[in-house]
A and B are shown apart, each in its own frame.
Chain A
Amino acid sequence: MKRFSQLLVTLILKTSRNDKISVLSEYFKYTPDPDRGYALGALTGTLSNPGIKPSLLRTLVAERIDQELFNLSYDYVGDLAETVSLIWPDTAPYKEKLPSIAEFISKMEGTPKAKLSALISSFLDNANSNERWAMIKFATGGLRVGVSARLAKTALAAYSGCLLEDIEKVWHGLTPPYIGLFEWLDGKTGIPKIQHTRTFHPMMLANPLNIEQDFDRLDPNDFQAEWKWDGIRVQAVFDESNKQLYSRTGDDISRAFPDIVGELNGKAVLDGELLVGENFKALPFNQLQQRLNRKSPTKMHLKNYPAFIRVYDMLFYNEDDIRDLPLKIRRQKLEDWMKQVKNSRLDISEILDFDSWSRLAELRTEKADTLGHEGVLIKDLQSKYSPGRPKGPWFKWKRDPKFLDGVMMYAQRGHGRRSSFYSDYTFGIWRGNELVPIGKAYSGFTDEELVMLDKWVRGNTLNRFGPVREVRKELVVELAFDSAHASSRHKSGIALRFPRINRIRWDKPAQEADTTETITSIM
C-alpha cells in the first residue's frame, strides 16, 4: 500500500501524459506480483473492490471527531476520501508496517462484517494521510486520479515493449491480478490465450464530423454511410454454449436482454445498436429507457418493448478475427453470415445511397424526424476495426442541436477535480406561474464560467439538502439538447436527450425562460 499510495499521489498531481506514463511504467516494472496486477485492476476499474461504503467511513470518523467539526471540514475539502484521510487523528504511538495490496484484499475478504470497522481503523491508524487516502480510494472504488484504462495499458506497452494493440486484443479475456499478462509483458511466456467468442473486445468509435474541414478533403466514394440510431451501442459475443451482450464500456448486460440473448444463433462477435420495437421499427430512446432501468425485464416489458440489435459491423466471423480486414470485406462477410444463420433479433444496418456530401446532408435532416435516428455515421470503406476512437476513419454527423432557455433551480457538487465546486445543475422551465424541472446539465461551460457559476450558487442559496443547494430562481441558461421526449421522470413531463449548457444568460430575466408549451411543440 505504501508504494501504491505514492503512485496515486504522484499520478493525481502530474498533468503531463508522458509523466504519467513514465511513473506508471516504473511502477509496473519494479512492483512484484500480485500487487502490480491488483493496482492495474484498480486503475482500470476491473477489480471488484471490497466495497467499503461511505457511510461506514463516516461512522468511524464520528467515533473520533465531533460531527460539526467534520461537517465544516468536509464542506471545505469537498471530497470524502480526502477529508477522512486528513482528519483522522494521527496519534498512533508507533506504526506497524502497512499491508501489501494483496494482504489488504485478503484481510478485508477474510474478515466478517462485524469486525470490518476495527480492521479498517487499524489500517488507517498505521498509515500517514496519503496512505489513508489511497487505501480509502482503493477500498471504496473509483480512484479518479486522471488515469484512463487506455493510459494504464499504454504504460504497460511502454515498460514491456509489447504492442498496445496486442494488449488491447487480450485485455478483456484477462482478470486481476493479471499474472499471465505480466509474464508475457516480462518476456517470460507468449501472449496469453483467450477465447475470443467469450470475451468483450474494445469497440471502435466515431469522431464528430467537422463540417468545414472534413468534407473538403474527403471523397464520398471512399465512404459508406448508415443511420446513427438512438439506442445503446452493444457487442454481441456468442458461440454454441456461451452467449453474451456487452455495453460499450464492456459491462455484461446479458441478463437485462434475455429476448435477444436467447435468440442468438451461430458463432460470432458483432457490433451494433440495441433498440426496442416490433419488426425492427425503433421506438424513441425513452421507451428503451424502460428496459435499461431494469436489471431483468418483466413479461410486460418484454412484450411492450421487445429488443433487437441493428448490426453495424462484424469482428469475428465464426472464430476468425476479421478486425484487420477492410470494412468493405467485413460488411460482405457480415451479409453472408446473416444469410446463412437465422437470427430473429438481428437486423443489418442499412447502407445509405448517396453520391455527394450535400445529398447526405439532405438525407440526414429529412429522415431524422420520421425515423427517429440521431444523424448518420460515415465510415471509410478501407478502415480496419481499431479499438478506441482513432482519428480519421469513422465520423458521426449528428442532427443539429435544439435550444431552450431554462432557469437554474438546484446545484450539486461535482466529483474529482470539480468536487469543491457546485458544478451539476438542475434546470426548470415555466408551466404557468410555476417552474418545473426539465433536466440536469453539468457540461458545456469553461473553467472560468464554472468559477462564476459556483460563486453565484453560493451567493444565491435558499436551502441546503445535503450536497444539494436550492438557489434563487433567477439565473437563465441556454441549454442545447438533441431531442425532447415525454417522460414521467421529471415534473415537467419532458426529458431532454444530452442537455448541456450552451451559454449562460446572465442578462436574461427568469420570466423570459421557455415554457412547457413551447418545448412540447417541438417534441
Chain B
Amino acid sequence: MSVAHSGSADARRSGQFVGVIFVFIVLLVIAAVIGHLTLPGLAPVWHFLGAHPILNALVKAVVYVSFIALLVLFLIWWERKFAGWLQARLGPKHVGPQGMLQTLADALKLITKEDITPAVADRPLFYLAPFVVFVPTVLTFMVLPLGPHWIAQDLNVALLYVIAISSMTATGIMAAGWGSNNKYSLLGGVRAVAQLLSYEVPMVMAVLSVVTFVGGLSMRHIIDYQAQNGWLILKWPLIPAFLIFLIAALAELNRTPFDLPEAESELVSGFHTEYSGMRFAFFFLAEFANNFFSAGFAVALFFGGYLGPILPGIVWFILKTFVLITLMMWIRWTVPRLRIDQMMGLCWKLLVPLSLVVFILAAAWASR
C-alpha cells in the first residue's frame, strides 16, 4: 500500500471546489423540497423575508443546517463529557466553561488542517463520500416533528421517507471505503454496508409495528394518536418493538457494540481512516446528526414526541431525545464490540424473527 500523499495542489483545489458546489446543490435541493411550505413557528420571519419561494426555502435550509451543526457541537461535547465522567475522568475542561467550546476549537482545527488526499485514491468517490453521508442525514431532519409547529415538511408518508433516505448513507460509506484505496477503509466499508443493510430490516419491521398499530405513516398522525391514547411505549407489543428499534439504531449509527466499521483496534479507523480536515469533520457531523435523528425518531414514535405538560413542545422533544441519546452513550461506553458474524447472527437469527413476531402481535392488537 503506497502511503504517498502527494495529490497535486490543483487536484486538491478542484476537490474543494467540487465539495462547495455539492453543498450548494444540496442546499438547493433541500430548498426545492421544502420550498413551498411554511414553517408556522417562524411565520413572522417568513413574512418579513417576503413570499419569494426560493428565498424563503433557502433561508429555511440554512436555518436547519445551522441548527444541526449547533446540535452536533453540543452533542459531541456531551458525549465526551459523559464518557469522561463514566470513565472516572473529567472530560474536556479547558476551553470555555466546562470545556463547552472544546468542540468548536476542534472544528476550527479541523477546518484549518491540511486536506490530504491519498495519491492513489479514487478521487471523485473520495471527495464526494463525506457529503453523500451528510446529505441524507440533513434531509431526514425535514420530517422530524421538533414541536407542534416545528415540522419542516409534514409528509403523509414521513416514515417511508425516513427509511428510504436514511439508507442512502450506506452508499456514502461504501464510496469512502472504496475511494480511499486503503485496505482498512475497504474492510470498514464492506462491514458498514453489510451492517447497515442488515439492520435496516428489523428497524423497518419495528417501525412498521408502530405504523400498523397507529394506522398511519405521517408523523403528526402518530403523535396525535399518542396525545389521545398515551405513549406508544406503554402498549405492551411495542415494548419489544422499541428494544429492537434501539438495537437496530445502535447498529445503524455504528456505535459500540456495533462499531465494527470503524473498529479502532482492528481497522484503525475503518472507512474514514484516510480522511482528514474538513472531510473528516463532515463524517463526524453526519454521525452525530444521525445520532440525534435516530433518538428523535424513536422519541416521536414511542415517547410521545413533543407531548408534555407546561413546557413548550420543542423543549420536551429535545429533553426526551437527549435522555435517549445518553442511554445510547451509556450502552456504548459499557459493552465490548461484537464480531462480524455475531453481529449478522444477532440480526438475522434473532432480531428479524423477533421483529416479525412483534409485528404480527402489533397488528393483531391493533385490529382488535
A binds B: no
Query: Which B residues form the contact surface with A (CB < 8 A)?
Result: none
Which residues of A approach B to under 8 Å, CB–CB? none
